[in-house]
Amino acid sequence: MNARLLPYVLILPVTLFLCLFFLYPFVLVAAQAFGGSDGLSLDNFRDVVSYWKFPISLKNTMLLAALVVPVQLALALLMATMVNRMKKGRDLVLYIWTIPLGISDLAAGIIWLAIFEQSGFLNSMMTGLGLAEGPVNFLSYQNPGLVFLAIALAEIWRATAIMLVILVAGIGLIPKEYYEAAEVFGASPWQRFLRVTLPMLRPSLQTALILRVVLAFEVFAVVAALGGTLLPVLMGEIYAYQFDLQNGGAAAAMALIVLGISIVFTLIILRVLRVPKGATI
Amino acid sequence: MAEIQIRNVAKRFGSYQALHDINLTIADQEFMVLLGASGCGKSTLLRIIAGLETQTTGEVWIGGRRIDHLPPKDRGIAMVFQNYAVFPHLTVFENIGFGLRMQKLRNDEVTRRVTRTAELMHIEQLLTRYSGELSGGQRQRVAVARALAMEPDVILMDEPLSNLDALLRLEMRAELKGVLAESNTTAIYVTHDQVEAMSLADRISVMHQGRIVQAASPVEVYRDPAERFVAGFIGNPPMNFLPASNHGNGRWAVADQVFAGPDVSAAALEFAIRPEDLRPADDGLEARVRLVEPLGAHLLLTCDVAGTMFRAILDSDMTVRAGDQLKLAAMPDRIRWFDPDTSLSVPTAA
């Protein structure tokens, strides 16, 4: 085998796979989104954007991401720092913390539903402790704030670990000597975190944030399980267009809008967390 | 004034005793080198002084102040690390100014000090660069400048030159000595390289298995090793040893020869002589030459004397071949004696 050709031959299977199962469907979706009665048109986009639920679902998705992602980032950083300091039992703690990762998002939603619903654990506990007269319906249209918080909580529980594992690996790669130098030159533990850990963690932070933010825009199953239709989100609307309203064109247009939002945020994260030119981390 | 006193410092890691009861006083502005093979505890001792490691027992005093319970930043020290630890995400300027920023100094003061130390280390043209754009030698200069910018009482250096290539090491060594002499700081320098230790130190502390076996000037460590270990460690090649048996009245039989030595009652001592303190003579130790290595100015001979390996450094105008028989005379005032039981040096003078 020609040594110059070999690398291309080796990546050929995966390239073919991606073309067949990613690029081709993507082209189909794009064609559907931009398709109209007379060739190319933006009708589908106009329709979905002007629908009354669009601004609400966009706002809900954004608010959820805005609440969930920073909390997860802070938690994941805290947990990663703690794990990194541990000498014994480090792996065990890490395994336990990453258990939620192994549970599907719908199952996670159902677990939290079992806690919050009218006959759920939280209600039984509060009644048992005498904190409530009778069962309270937390997840009703009368408490939109509670529904939102329950969904945020379930999301934080479910997906913090994905950031955690990336950050643990990243922190483990920072040589100890940098911390010692920072300590000798007068940096407090908090300053060492701000001036050594965070800047040197930038590549891992980029990966973790992009992954998590993109996933946050795709939030669906947890919302469906806990909120039903009480809290419309973008993905839920795509589902409704595709399966309830049988409007493939509109669903495709929405999907492209979500893709567009994800790309914009990815670019913002890459820009904000870029490594300065010439610096090597 | 920054005299350093290390009082009864010991360090255990679990069941491993890394340092045994270290006592050492380093004078203000002295350049002290801790010299020893890897694992001898020299870096541990330095890290205890820096505050990166806590001693199990004992005290560390700097400038009349007990500092072993203080965090590193309150000890009046600065440190140069083996792998430099120059932050890759900061420019050279911000690296040198790191400690000054932590002290919350005013911007113009930071600029003044960073510029001055950068000029001292000849890196003023690199201030806007990042460490990834620097060579190993330049990174080393940044690390030294960062320490000097703190204007510390004590500067600690952990094998700072060991990652540089030979030529650069020679150059940096001379420069370090000059810069530190001008800065009036007390310096502690850890190395396993005895040439580096000899050339830099005011005083060398030779360490072995968690103990300081000798703390003395480079010449004294070389000429009058306090222990057999020092004699066998310092010098390249190190001292030659031969067993000596008591011939009475301070006279000692060494490989069929009789030498004047210490007037002690011990039955046996060890005779030691440096390779360069041997001369070919009509009368002396019978040596069979096994290997001749020309070193330019000198010949390094590996011989066999009474069944023991023996090295001699002779003038290169000699013609010697492997297999030759030679008689080697030892310069009488350079002969040293060691007690084989205690390994300690036994003085000749009454």
* Tens of pLDDT, residues A79-97: 999 998 888 888 899 999 9
Nearest chain A residue to B97 by CA: give it.
Answer: A185
pLDDT at A43: 85
Which candidate in B98, B117, B128 is best for mutational testing of the A interface (most A CBs within 10 A)? Answer: B98
- B130 and A280 in contact by Cβ < 8 A? yes
Phi, psi of B126 (to 5 degrees): -105, 5
Question: In angstroms, rounded to a whole number, what is the distance separating the alpha carbons of residues B189 and B12?
Answer: 22
Tens-digit pLDDT profile for residues A202-220: 999 999 999 999 999 999 9
- For every residue of B279-312, DSSP letters joined together read EEEEEEEEEEEEEEEE-SSEEEEEEEETTEEEEE
Work out the minimum CA distance from B92 to partner chain A, whole angstroms.
11
Question: In angstroms, rounded to a whole number, what is the distance separating the alpha carbons of residues B54 and B40?
Answer: 17
Looking at per-residue confidence, does A39 or B84 come out higher?
A: B84
Work out the minimum CA distance from A199 to partner chain B, whole angstroms.
7
Identify the CA nearest to B1 among candidates B30, B23, B44.
B30
Identify the CA nearest to B71 among candidates A176, A184, A177, A195.
A184
Beta strands in A47-140 (DSSP E): none
Nearest to B132 among A178, A202, A280 (CB): A280
Which range among A28-37, A189-198, A235-244 shows the weakest confidence by mean pLDDT?
A: A28-37
Which range among A42-46, A131-135, A218-222, B274-278 shows the weakest confidence by mean pLDDT?
A: A131-135
Letter for the amino acid at A231? L
Q: Is A279 part of the contact surface with chain B (CB cutoff 8 Å)?
A: yes
A-chain CB neighbours of B78 within 8 Å are 184-185
Q: Is A145 part of the contact surface with chain B (CB cutoff 8 Å)?
A: no
Work out the minimum CA distance from B146 to partner chain A, whole angstroms.
9
For chain A, which domains are there? 42-272 (1.10.3720.10)
Work out the minimum CA distance from A77 to partner chain B, whole angstroms.
19
Note the pTM of the prediction, 2 decimals: 0.84
Determine whether A238 is exposed, middle or buried from the number of CB atoms within 10 Å of its CB (0-12, 13-18, 19+): buried
Nearest to A278 among B78, B130, B150 (CB): B130
Work out the minimum CA distance from B216 to partner chain A, whole angstroms.
29
Question: In angstroms, rounded to a whole number, what is the distance separating the alpha carbons of residues B174 and A139?
Answer: 76
- B73 and A183 in contact by Cβ < 8 A? yes
Predicted confidence (pLDDT) at residue A192 exceeds the cutoff of 90: yes
Q: Is A180 part of the contact surface with chain B (CB cutoff 8 Å)?
A: yes
Which candidate in A184, A200, A205 is best for mutational testing of the B interface (most B CBs within 10 A)? Answer: A184
Nearest to A186 among B50, B90, B103 (CB): B103
Question: In angstroms, rounded to a whole number, what is the distance separating the alpha carbons of residues B147 and A215?
Answer: 46
Nearest chain B residue to A192 by CA: give it.
Answer: B102
Nearest to B89 among A175, A181, A281 (CB): A281
Identify the CA nearest to A258 among candidates A224, A228, A213, A221.
A213
Q: Is A178 part of the contact surface with chain B (CB cutoff 8 Å)?
A: yes
Tens-digit pLDDT profile for residues A228-254: 888 899 999 999 999 999 888 899 999
- A275 and B89 in contact by Cβ < 8 A? yes
pLDDT at B349: 65
A-chain CB neighbours of B73 within 8 Å are 183-187
- Intervals of chain B under pLDDT 50: 350
pLDDT at B296: 87
Which stretches of chain B are DSSP H helices?
A: 42-50, 92-96, 98-102, 107-120, 136-149, 166-183, 194-200, 218-223, 228-233
B-chain CB neighbours of A175 within 8 Å are 83, 85
pLDDT at B167: 86
**Which CA distances in Å does A74 have to A62, A160, A209, B334?**
18, 10, 11, 69
Of the pLDDT bands very low, low, confident and very high (cuts 50, 70, 90), residue A131 is confident
Stretch 158-217 of chain B: residues touching chain A, C-beta under 8 Å = none
- B132 and A178 in contact by Cβ < 8 A? no
pLDDT at B1: 66
To which residue do tokens 């031959």 refer?
A9
A-chain CB neighbours of B81 within 8 Å are 177, 180-181
Pair A110, A225: CB distance under 8 Å: yes
What's the mean per-residue pLDDT of chain A? 90
Tens-digit pLDDT profile for residues B158-214: 999 888 888 888 888 888 888 888 888 999 999 999 999 999 999 999 999 999 999
Question: In angstroms, rounded to a whole number, what is the distance separating the alpha carbons of residues A274 and A234?
Answer: 29
User: Does the structure's ipTM exceed the value 0.90?
Assistant: no
B-chain CB neighbours of A183 within 8 Å are 51-52, 71-73
* Beta carbons within 10 angstroms of residue A245's beta carbon: 11
Nearest to A186 among B73, B89, B130 (CB): B73
Nearest chain A residue to B146 by CA: give it.
Answer: A185
